[in-house]
Amino acid sequence: MLRYTLLRILGAIPTLLLVIALAFVMVHAAPGGPFADDRVVSPDIEANLNTAYDLDDPLPKQFLRYVGGLLRGDLGPSFRYVDRSVSELIGGALPYSLMLGAAAMSLALVLGVGAGTLAALRQDSVLDRLIMGFSMTGISIPVFVVAPALILLFAVKLKWLPAGWSGAPGVGRYVLPVVTLALPQIAYIARLTRASLIDVLGRDFIRTARAQGLGTATVVRVHALKPAMLPVLSYLGPAIAAILTGSVVVEEVFGIPGVGQFFVRGALNRDYTLVLGIVVFYASLIVALNLVVDVLYGVIDPRVRYR
Amino acid sequence: MTSFRAITALAIAALLVTWGCSEPAPVAGNTLQRGLPSDPETLDHHKARSVQAAEVLRDLGEGLAAYTATGELVPAAAERWDVSDDGLTYTFRLRDGLKWSNGDALTAAHFVAGMRRLVNPATAAFYAQMIVDIENADGIVSGDIPVSMLGVEAPDDRTVVLRLVQPTPYLTGLLTHPSTFPIHPGAFETHGDGFARPGKLVSNGAYRLDAWVPGSLVSLKRNPHYWNDAATSIDAVNYHVVVQNAAELNRYRAGELHVTSTVPTDSFAQVRDEYGAQLRIAPYLSVYYYGFNLTKAPFSDNPALREALSMAIDRELLAEKVLGRGERPAYSWVPPGVHNYEPPRLAFAALNKQERERLARLRYKEAGYGPDEPLQVEVRYNTNDTNKRIAVAIQAMWREVLGIEATLINEEFQVLLANMRAAEITQVFRSSWIGDYNDAHTFLSILQKGSPANMPRYASDEYDDLMARAAAQVDPERRRLYLEEAERVLLSDHPVIPLYVWVSRHLVSPQVSGWGDNVLDYHYSQHLSLKTTD
């Protein structure tokens, strides 16, 4: 498995390089520039700005310099946050995003698998209908509707939780963003778990287990849940991607100083280095997480062998 | 399925919106909570360029002059100043015993150092053009003259002398801008370009920088060394970065903000009904306009056509019905309310709607167009709901009155900007201008030949000549007459269609007192005070 992992990491390098090259071309191809503004500056000032940020070099040279910096772990200076480097901005924002993403993912797994299992065990009962109805709603309503709705309910009306991240210190300020972000994933995972568990519970080996006199709880815990988790595990990759993209909206609505909102702001401001830096970061993260999921697959499913 | 989702979403949102309306909960403590629509890109006052950064910087630092809450210019770090008879030399006398936030003495040399750094090409400051009227500033920015030649001197610790290339009656207004604030030489030498960070920044205003989480929060604490600290009431200020206007409104509703940076346009009517006097609306030093590309057909050499298009637009309808959020129709390029200036109005402003439309059709015909030969024109605007509503309304007005076939093209802001600057494919484009200082010059100068912000590429010798005459005038009355005459020329040439004047919109909590409305939309925290509730 170690060899497999190493090969996968090596294989990721050309992928990442391609992503960087494409992103580099795309950000520079977009019209405008980091210093374009309707308060147009005099040509002298613009020339000074371009010199200060090496924007007057030809593009291939800029690209080589960028990749060179990358190899040394330097993501360059931000064009908008003029006295900060991109590494510093991402580094500062990462803890908040990680906390948000990890909490949302954990909540989604715990509640999603729990609700899905309950629904599968009480198939076609009122509880099942309720859970499935809720999950349909959860999948259907977009994040930008859920977020203000939750804020109005819990921050404005009930005043239990802050409406914005900077509104109050402590853990409370993460509750609404995490719930917002996790909601569609809870719903999706619940449906996946239910379908998969119902399928597994009808298999021969479960009947055998029951025939041995085991109780439902043991059958589910020991025999059914593990194989039933395979579709959920496959879904983790897309789920992480969805949480990453969802965090862009959630961070902006709640004012969380995370990576996602820098991505949006950076793109709109043509902050070339900041956008590229975050693309590199996201791409590496997704490659790494996909690898983790694939390795986990082998741990859970004995039929999978790595070569 | 999609429509089902949309309906459910709308229903839930509507339910919660109606339910969610209530009085904001009071915010405890003597800390002012303010909304900020985007992150300050830096608190280095020479490199900052956004309105948001300037707002925070006016709390942190102080220039030679400043504005009161209602927008009167007053001495600040300087206690007084004298202007030479030719209007070219300004001598500022600093207050006695000025100090930095770390207790160091603040001297005239620090103002000199600040302005030198502003024009130094190595700083690459966006606002270097702010002090372009100071002797040699131009040549220093372009790298032709050494920085030490800048016409700013400190003959002693309490005197700053500025030498200008032409009389600039609005100079003291410019000196309220953060880019002209002094710099603490020690902090800059120790930390280099990274001096503007919490723990490093030494400032000279009513507040000092306490903490900064990029993308979320800038926290300021009272500066006990500030010369007028006794008059400062609020102990701390939190600037909360809230990018989405709707989210900002919710945070105000939840009692997390005392002052919002704006009010979301689509809930304006609701907010007005809900909050009454807490909603503060004031005319803003700005103009929203449509420009013509004067370098290409059909608008080059066809002033009659430009006038017809301008005349066919019902500005009252735009301001009151299409927008309806306090905006005022614009019949001049320089908005009303500018210091020592009475803007002339477009000639047809006095006519009623019928007369105006009849005259518009006449001009349209003179220009060589008519029902059989309608003008086909492209209107470009940057993607945004308000811009779209305006464009659609104008498209309809032009069609109804003149039979024009207008195509609307929306582009991302940066794309539109690039197209306007290239002046190759644009015909009619949407733009706006916000005044940098309270003087007609900030609006009129951009339409001079060669000005980088002259998007229509307007070039009139008569206009430029009047502007040059105004610039040479020391007497404010005569200067005003030249400027007004220049605008009259401008308005009769129709390079632009002024449409409406923006307004600033804030929600201000009843706990806050000392708030003043002003055309620049500057609101220093030191002028405000809080009624605490505990």
Report residue B488 as tokens: 């009259």
Q: Looking at the complex, does the CB of residue A26 fall below 8 Å from at least one CB of chain B?
A: no
A307 within a domain of the structure (yes/no): no
User: Do B238 and A166 lie within an 8 Å CB cutoff?
Assistant: yes
CB A150 within 8 A of CB A176: yes
Which residues contact residue B413 at a Cβ distance below 8 angstroms, ignoring those fewer than 6 apart?
A: A32, A268, B382, B383
Task: Give the sign of the dihedral formed by CA A162, CA A166, CA A171, CA A173.
Answer: positive
| Buried/exposed code over B227-265 (b: 16+ C-beta within 10 A; e: otherwise) | beeeebbbebbbbbbbbbbbbbbbbbbbbbbbbbbebbb
Among A136, A138, A118, CA closest to A128: A118
A117 within a domain of the structure (yes/no): yes
Q: Looking at the complex, does the CB of residue A104 fall below 8 Å from at least one CB of chain B?
A: no
The pLDDT value recorded for residue B90 is 97
Please give the C-alpha separations between residue B96 and each of A19, B66, B83, B202, B225, in angstroms, as whole numbers: 60, 17, 21, 19, 13
% of chain B beyond a pLDDT of 70: 94
What's the rounded mean pLDDT across residues B359-368? 95
pLDDT in tens, B373-422: 999 999 999 998 889 999 999 999 999 999 999 999 999 888 898 899 89
| Length of chain B, in residues | 534
pLDDT > 50? residue B8: no
pLDDT > 60? residue B10: no
Those of residues 16-75 in B touching chain A at CB distance below 8 A are 16-17, 19-20, 22, 25, 38-39, 41-42, 44, 47, 49
pLDDT in tens, A89-104: 999 999 999 899 999 9
The pLDDT value recorded for residue A243 is 86
A204 burial type by CB count under 10 A (0-12 exposed, 13-18 middle, 19+ buried): exposed
Chain B partners of A252 at a C-beta cutoff of 8 Å? Answer: 243-244, 247
What's the rounded mean pLDDT across residues B308-324? 93
Q: How confident is the model at residue B29 (pLDDT cuts 50, 70, 90)?
A: low
Chain A partners of B196 at a C-beta cutoff of 8 Å? Answer: 83
Q: Which of B251, B288, B437 to mutate to test the interface with A (most CBs of A within 10 A)?
A: B251
A20-34, B162-176, B337-351: segment of lowest average pLDDT:
A20-34
Average pLDDT of the residues of chain B: 91
| Separation of CA B14 from chain center | 34
What's the rounded mean pLDDT across residues A149-156? 91
pLDDT > 90? residue B183: yes
What's the rounded mean pLDDT across residues B182-190? 89
The pLDDT value recorded for residue A307 is 59
How many Å apart are CA B254 and CA B24, to the nearest integer?
A: 6
Total domain count, chain A: 1
> What residue ranges define each of the domains in chain B, with the CATH number in brackets?
2-35+242-282+505-530 (3.40.190.10), 42-208 (3.90.76.10), 286-501 (3.10.105.10)
Which residues contact residue A40 at a Cβ distance below 8 angstroms, ignoring those fewer than 6 apart?
A: B421, B452, B453
CB A185 within 8 A of CB A243: yes
How many Å apart are CA A70 and CA B236, to the nearest integer?
A: 41
pLDDT in tens, A43-79: 787 888 888 788 888 888 888 888 888 888 888 888 8
B2-16, B53-67, B234-248, B466-480: segment of lowest average pLDDT:
B2-16
Q: Give the start-end residues of each E strand in B345-476.
A: 376-382, 405-411, 428-434
A143 within a domain of the structure (yes/no): yes
Q: How confident is the model at residue A306 (pLDDT cuts 50, 70, 90)?
A: low
A178 within a domain of the structure (yes/no): yes
A33-37, A134-138, B40-44: segment of lowest average pLDDT:
A33-37
Task: Give the sign of the dihedral formed by CA B365, CA B368, CA B372, CA B378.
Answer: negative
Report residue B98 as tokens: 């000025």
| Separation of CA B77 from chain center | 23
User: Do B122 and A83 lie within an 8 Å CB cutoff?
Assistant: no
Q: Which of A50, A51, A53, A82 to mutate to test the interface with B (most CBs of B within 10 A)?
A: A82
The number of C-beta contacts closer than 8 angstroms across A and B is: 193
How far off is chain B from A80, nearest CA to CA, in Å?
Answer: 6
Angle at B341 between CA B336 and CA B342, to 5 degrees: 60
The pLDDT value recorded for residue A2 is 79
How many Å apart are CA A234 and CA B392, to the nearest integer?
A: 48
A139 within a domain of the structure (yes/no): yes
A113 within a domain of the structure (yes/no): yes
Q: Looking at the complex, does the CB of residue B213 fall below 8 Å from at least one CB of chain A?
A: yes
Those of residues 463-492 in B touching chain A at CB distance below 8 A are none
pTM of this prediction? 0.87
Among B285, B126, B525, B244, CA closest to A48: B126
The pLDDT value recorded for residue A181 is 93
Q: How confident is the model at residue B22 (pLDDT cuts 50, 70, 90)?
A: very low
pLDDT > 60? residue B11: no
pLDDT in tens, B414-462: 889 889 989 999 999 999 998 888 999 999 999 999 888 899 999 999 9
Q: For residue B88, how many C-alpha atoms fall within 13 Å in the half-sphere facing its CB?
A: 7
Residue A137 domain boundaries: 94-256
Quote the crossing angle between the two packed helices A143-150 and A172-201, to the nearest 10°. 130
CB B92 within 8 A of CB B172: no
User: Do A152 and B142 lie within an 8 Å CB cutoff?
Assistant: no
Chain B partners of A168 at a C-beta cutoff of 8 Å? Answer: 256
The pLDDT value recorded for residue A40 is 64
User: Do B215 and A38 lie within an 8 Å CB cutoff?
Assistant: no
pLDDT in tens, B370-383: 988 999 999 999 99
Chain B partners of A55 at a C-beta cutoff of 8 Å? Answer: none
* CATH code: domain of residue A130: 1.10.3720.10
A273 within a domain of the structure (yes/no): no
Chain A partners of B141 at a C-beta cutoff of 8 Å? Answer: 42, 44-45, 48
How many Å apart are CA A106 and CA A239, to the nearest integer?
A: 11
DSSP state at residue A77:
B
The pLDDT value recorded for residue A38 is 65
Smallest CA–CA distance from A143 into chain B, residue: B9
What's the rounded mean pLDDT across residues B27-55? 89
What is the complex's ipTM, to 2 decimals?
A: 0.86
pLDDT in tens, B103-155: 999 999 999 999 999 999 999 888 888 898 999 999 999 999 999 999 999 99
User: Do B216 and A83 lie within an 8 Å CB cutoff?
Assistant: no
What's the rounded mean pLDDT across residues B513-534? 90
Smallest CA–CA distance from A154 into chain B, residue: B254
The pLDDT value recorded for residue B17 is 39
Angle at B93 between CA B89 and CA B97, to 5 degrees: 155
Q: Looking at the complex, does the CB of residue A138 fall below 8 Å from at least one CB of chain B?
A: no
B12, B121, B242 ranked by CB distance to A149: nearest: B12
How far off is chain A from B48, nearest CA to CA, in Å?
Answer: 8
Q: Give the start-end residues of each E strand in B339-482.
A: 376-382, 405-411, 428-434
A188 within a domain of the structure (yes/no): yes
pLDDT > 60? residue B39: yes
Task: Give the sign of the dihedral formed by CA B455, CA B318, CA B435, CA B447.
Answer: positive
Q: Which of A39, A160, A274 to mutate to test the interface with B (most CBs of B within 10 A)?
A: A39
